[in-house]
Every structure is written in C-alpha cells, then in structure tokens.
Chain A
Amino acid sequence: MKQKYNLADWLDGKVDDEVVQNTKGFDTLKKIKMYSAHFQKPEFKKDEVYKAIKKKKSSRRKTKFNWSIAASILLIIGVSTLVFTLSNKDFTSKINSQETVLLPDDSKVILAQNSKFQFNNWFWSFDRTTKLFGKAYFDVDKGKTFTVKTDLGTVQVLGTRFDVESRDSIFKVVCYEGSVKVTSLENEIILEKDQFVVFQNGHKVEQSNVYIDEPDWISTTNVFKDAPLSEVILQLEKNYTIEIDISKLNQNKRFTGSLPSDSLSLALDILVKTYQINFKVVNKNKFIFVEDETR
C-alpha cells in the first residue's frame, strides 16, 4: 500500500491529511503547505516587457531587411570596382626612354622617362580622368573635362596642350594652348596660354611665362637597345600615326640605335639601310616592308 509520492499527492490535494498524518514531522509539513501558499507572485511588468519585445522585434526585422540591401549594394560596388579595375590601363615609361600613349579619343600623351600613367578605357567617354606619377606632355582633344590627378595636385582642362610634372615635392604645370585649371591643396590657379606655375609642398613658388611652343624635354629621337623589330615599328606607328606592314620580313631582326621622331623619311631610311630591306608606299599612311632581293 506504500505510495511512493504520497506527500506530492497530499500537497496537490489529491489525498487527505489522514493518509499522510503519520509521516515524520507532519506538523511542519502542514505549515509548509499553508504558508507556501501565502507567497506573492513575483512582480512582472507584463506590458512593459511586451513593449520591449515589440521594439526589438521591429528592429531585428529592420536589420534583416537592411542586410539584403547592404548585400546588393556591396555586390554592385564590388562588380563595378572589378570592371573599373579591369578596364584601367597602366603605362610605365622606362627609366631611359619616353613613351607615347594614345587615348581613346585621339588625345596624345607623351610620358617622360620614369613616369607612370593610368586611364580607364571603358569609362573614357563618361569620364576623362587620368592619373600621373612623374612627368608628361598632354595634347588633349576637345571634349568633356579632362582631368589629370597627381599626388601633389590636379589639372583640369577642356581641350589644350599642356605639360605636367609631379615628382618628389615639385608640382609644375605648363600650358601651351588654351587654358587649364590647376589645383594643389587649397590653391586654385587658372593658367592661360604660355604660362606656367610651380608648387612646392602645396605652396606656389613661381608663376611666369614660357616662350616655347612645345616642351623642350620631348626628345626628337627614340632610342632603342637590342629591341625586336616589331617594337621599333610600333613606336614609329605611334609617332607618325601611320601603319606599317612587316609580315613579309624575317621577324628575328633586332635594332640598336636611335630613330628621329620628327622625320619619317629619315627614320624609314635608317631602317632600310640597316637591314637591307625596302618599303612600298601603299598610301600616305600605309607602308609595307619587304626584303630587298636586289642585293
């Protein structure tokens, strides 16, 4: 007859006092039963807690919502950055030679020795912004604002010819045609034709006139040292904006020497005499090189 949890049943009112009155310390048990029912319910601010839940509820909803937006924005930024970086073109001139860069709109940039130049190919028609480290001469076609950014300042133009040098702490801009806007730190200067300005550490140190039509540092010769013929021809094509077909030549030829960049006939003559080759003129802008069989 022994009930295992008789006290539990008694506490729950399932059995009467008589059933358990022989339990040890029954008086105390009775008191426990009585007084434990006298306790107050713990205080609970039901409405306030619900308000707090409501607040957190909506804020968590919002953050979840925001995540998806944030994710898509990140994706868009990521993709466009990728496209932007992929379509960035870099040019670096060697320490001992200049390089000519043709931009998509036929603007021409001549990089001085040991300079770096960057522009974006794909976005060119929207944004003519370029970056320059070192020195370069710009012959810009008319169009949207053309910007040259350097570490030391910015030059903005519409269409003109100018020269930018940004090396160490010196920032120098020379304007040969039209006008350009030069910004270095907080200084902003408009340069007219035949003027130049020099900044050092962001402070203007000189602004005066120039009396030449083109920068004197642009060399009239291209120097090659053991360069493959294809590279030499490429440089000629850029210099004179012509086309030269060398498919009929032995490609193994190498060239060491200098070629003028202001006289096409002289440059061609030098090549002809060096390699015992000949060229045919297709038209004013197109030439074909052939091996000279008469010799």
Chain B
Amino acid sequence: MEKRLVDNVCEEQVFEGIYSKNSEVINNYFFYKFGHKIMAEESVQEAFIKLWENCKKVPFAKAKSYLYTVANNISLNKYKHQKVVLKYAKTEPQQTKDLQSPEYKMEEKEFKVKLEKAIQDLSEKQRTAFLLHRIDNRSYKEIAEILNISVKAVEKRMQKALEGMRKQIDEFK
C-alpha cells in the first residue's frame, strides 16, 4: 500500500498514532533509567510536547527517531535516578511438578531477590539495554535505535550486563 504523501505530524490523528505506537517503550526506557514512575511519565509528556511543538519541522518518517533523540536529551540533564524496582509477573510460566518442591520454591525466591539486586546495581546504560530486551522484547536493532547507538554497542552492553550479574549473583551465594 502506498503511504499517504503528506503525513503531517501536526494532524491530531497522526500525532495520536505516533503516541500509541511509541509512548510505552519510551516510558519504560525512562523508567529503567530513572527508576521513578512519575518522572518517567513526565518525561514522556515532555518528549511528546516537544514533538508537537516542532511538528511542522519533523517529517512523519523521522518522528520516532526525533522522539528518541529528545528522550535521550531529557535523560541527560534531569533527575538523580533511583533504584529500579521491578515486579515479577504473578502468573509464572508452567513448571514441572517435581520442581515445585518447597525447597525449590525457596531457592527460586532467593534467586529472584538476588537478580533484582543485580539489576539495580547494573550501570544505567547496561540496565536500560538489558531490560528493554528482557521486558519489552525489543530486538537489539530496535534498542540500538532507541539508545541512539550501534547494534554492536548494544551487544556489548548485553554481554557486560550478563557477565556482571552472573558474577554478583554467584559471589553472594
């Protein structure tokens, strides 16, 4: 299908479309970065209002990368970040029965706590990349786009994040 030639970002519908597609990942990115829900939402607002104010200058195709650039700039000069507190999903994936022993459950619980701590202790760069992949299921390519870095750099961050967390968890055994 041929795309409409003039997809004007200033159009309410177009703007809303961009919002519904991109707002969540931008919000999560801010959340992984700051660890603060309200700050994340405020930053989302700020980013989209910047887009709106410049809607005449930003072509539709560039809107997404414009948002990411704005988002990165916002995070540069704002907020001291807090610890990122995450929640585990209540419905856990199915596990075989023999693994459900109380002992196993204890261990699992312990591990989850350790993992959370390890994530909190990651550097901001590694954490945002790691969580965008694990929680938002973004591909390395998409993460590279969001963070404005190369795919290679994303891979490096993932590698370092894994190695770092593994080390911390095992050392606290």
Contact = CB atoms under 8 A, between A and B. Distances in A.
Q: Do A and B bind each other?
A: yes
Interface in B152-173: 152, 154-156, 158-159, 162-163, 165-167, 169-170
A41 B158 contact: no
A45 B52 CA distance: 20
A294 B63 CA distance: 100
B49 A42 contact: no
Interface string B93-108: 1000000000000000
A43 interface: yes
B45 A42 contact: no
Interface string B17-48: 00110011001100110000100110011001
B4 interface: no
Contact of B87 (A11, A40, A49): A40
Contacts of A50: 16, 19, 23
A28 B162 CA distance: 10
Contact of A49 (B23, B155, B166): B23
Interface stretch (A2-10, A214-222, A255-263): A2-10
Nearest to B41: A49
A53 interface: yes
Interface string A32-49: 100111111111111001
Given A43-B37, A45-B41, A12 B140 contact: yes
Report the interface size class on chain B. 35 or more
Given A5-B159, A37-B134, A39-B86, A32 B115 contact: yes
A144 interface: no
B166 A46 contact: no
For B93, B158, B166, B170, the residue with the greatest tally of chain A CB atoms inside 10 Å of its CB is B166
A8 B158 contact: yes
Contact of B115 (A8, A36, A43): A36
Question: Secondary structure of the B side of the interface?
Answer: helix
A42 B28 contact: yes
B133 A11 contact: yes
Question: Secondary structure of the A side of the interface?
Answer: helix
Interface string B113-129: 00100110000000000
A58 to B, nearest CB: 10
Given A40-B88, A42-B27, A49 B163 contact: no
Nearest to B156: A5
Contacts of A41: 24, 28, 135-136
A38 B37 CA distance: 19
For B44, B93, B156, the residue with the greatest tally of chain A CB atoms inside 10 Å of its CB is B44
Contact of A53 (B19, B111, B162, B169): B19
A9 B155 contact: yes
Interface string B41-67: 100110011001100000000000000
Contacts of A56: 45, 49
A49 B44 contact: yes
A5 B119 CA distance: 19
Given A8-B156, A44-B28, A50-B23, A38 B49 contact: no
Contacts of A9: 155
Given A8-B156, A60-B53, A35 B162 contact: no
Interface string A188-228: 00000000000000000000000000000000000000000
A42 B85 CA distance: 9
Contacts of B154: 8
11 contacts: A7-B159, A8-B162, A25-B170, A37-B134, A39-B87, A41-B135, A41-B136, A43-B37, A46-B23, A49-B23, A53-B19
Which 8 A-B residue pairs are closest in the complex by CB-CB distance?
A8-B158, A5-B155, A8-B155, A36-B134, A5-B159, A42-B31, A8-B159, A40-B87
Given A28-B170, A44-B41, A56-B45, 7 more contacts: A5-B156, A5-B158, A8-B159, A8-B162, A29-B162, A46-B23, A52-B45
